[in-house]
Amino acid sequence: MVKLYGRTLTRRDIAAHAGTLSQFAGVRLMTLGDGLENGIRMFEFRTGTGFRFTVLIDRAMDVGDCELCGMAIGWNSPAGFRSPGISTIDAENGLGWLRSFSGLLATCGLDHALAPVEESAEHFNYPFRKTVPHPIHGRVGTVPARLTGYGERWEGDECVLWCEGVVQQATVFGENLHLIRRIEAKVGESSFSLHDRVINRGFYRTPHMLLYHFNVGYPVLAEGSRYLAPIGDVMWAGHHADYRKQGIGYRIQAAPQHPFREQVWEHDMVADTDGIVPVALVNDALGLGVMLESRKAEMPCYLQWQNLQAGMYCMGLEPSTHHVYGKTFANERGEMIWLEHDEAREYVTRFSALDGAGEIAAAEKRIAKIKNQPTDEYPAPSGKFPKLR
């Protein structure tokens, strides 16, 4: 059954009330046509609850806009949804990625995530390529997808909206990694699920890293908004040397600041009995929030990004395959993921809008049942990074 407009409807009921499902829900393919976005193919999903989001096909099938009943959830940065045809990802000493950084979801990988680094390329067995320079958060985010399908699928009286595509990050004498991405959203629900499979189609043994940069903006993020998470340990804070200087801790968020220097934390999250880590950001005054559910076994690390700078106001919820210190740290500790030919890793993540005080309270109760988070806004980082593999 589909719950819509205060009623529980069968597929027959829906057919009787509208000539086509697209009257209130569906997935539509369109192309943007102006400015930096010119030429980007995009899906628009509407689930019938006022939940709407867009999938940027030509930007690794990342999620761009997101809203609930007209209230924004996702983040639009000053950089905008830049077309990959004008991408400068390898420029500016590895920081060119920032000129394409925008949207609710920015996927980071597939062979590198986190800070820029240059590493040995000996595993690619090419004498003229001694090293591989990696830009911040990798290269996959500006690669267009090859579509394999989209549409609506009825399962009895439930309707699932979906899209699927393949994003290929490859070079000669280097990596050949494919991201097979499927996004699904049920009609009558305010959520979507992300199903990713990363596979090495090449014959070189290749490193693999993945980080999901879920970026939540105003009005979910606002003065007084609360970060809710089952934190077992606050392991690291990039600003620890000046911990209280900006007067903003990890839990209660502030209004836009000027000036403001980003604050990044790494938390060791505790999973529930099913291995799920639920993390939320909620605006109690507005009765609006979001929840991100990831799997601890797939994404054992978790970063929190506070970018409260005026004009770029954003909070990042970031499950990751690796710790914040990135590739060099992982290699030193023997924690790098290496994929052989046809070897794959799979990831399942769910993003939901929280509508009203009741849903916010339920989310908070669920998280607290797993683990009570620190009440101190400035918990002392332990510096203890659990072994990943």
Residue-wise pLDDT tens digits, 58-81: 999 999 999 999 999 999 999 999
Question: 154-196 pLDDT, tens per residue?
Answer: 999 999 999 999 999 999 999 999 999 999 999 999 999 999 9
Q: Which CATH architecture has domain 2-370?
A: Distorted Sandwich (2.70)
Q: Which residues contact 263 (CB under 8 A, 6 or more apart)?
A: 237, 238, 239, 246, 248, 250, 305, 306, 308
pLDDT of residue 320: 98
pLDDT of residue 289: 98
pLDDT of residue 138: 97
Question: 37-51 pLDDT, tens per residue?
Answer: 999 999 999 999 999
Distance CA 87, CA 201 (A): 25
pLDDT of residue 389: 83
pLDDT of residue 60: 98
Give the mean model confidence (pLDDT) for residues 352-357: 98
pLDDT of residue 380: 95
Kindly state the DSSP code that residue 257 receives in the 8-state scheme. Answer: B
Looking at this protein, which amino acid is placed at residue 176? N
Question: 254-283 pLDDT, tens per residue?
Answer: 999 999 999 999 999 999 999 999 999 999
pLDDT of residue 293: 99
pLDDT of residue 37: 96
pLDDT of residue 100: 95
Inform me whether the pLDDT recorded for 345 exceeds 90. Answer: yes
Q: What is the mean pLDDT of the chain?
A: 97
Distance CA 337, CA 175 (A): 14
Q: Please state, for a pLDDT cut of 70, what percent of the chain lies above it.
A: 100
Kindly state the DSSP code that residue 322 receives in the 8-state scheme. Answer: S
**Where do the domains of the chain lie?**
2-370
Give the mean model confidence (pLDDT) for residues 364-369: 98
In degrees and rounded to multiples of 5, residue 104 shows phi and psi of: -65, -45
Distance CA 379, CA 355 (A): 30
Kindly state the DSSP code that residue 124 receives in the 8-state scheme. Answer: G
Q: CB 360: neighbour CB atoms within 10 A?
A: 22
Inform me whether the pLDDT recorded for 203 exceeds 90. Answer: yes
Q: Which two tokens stand for residue 346?
A: 């799979």
Looking at this protein, which amino acid is placed at residue 24? F
Could you tell me which residues are beta bridge partners of residue 337? 208
pLDDT of residue 281: 99
Question: 154-165 pLDDT, tens per residue?
Answer: 999 999 999 999
pLDDT of residue 166: 98
Inform me whether the pLDDT recorded for 87 exceeds 90. Answer: no
Give the mean model confidence (pLDDT) for residues 10-31: 96
Distance CA 268, CA 229 (A): 10
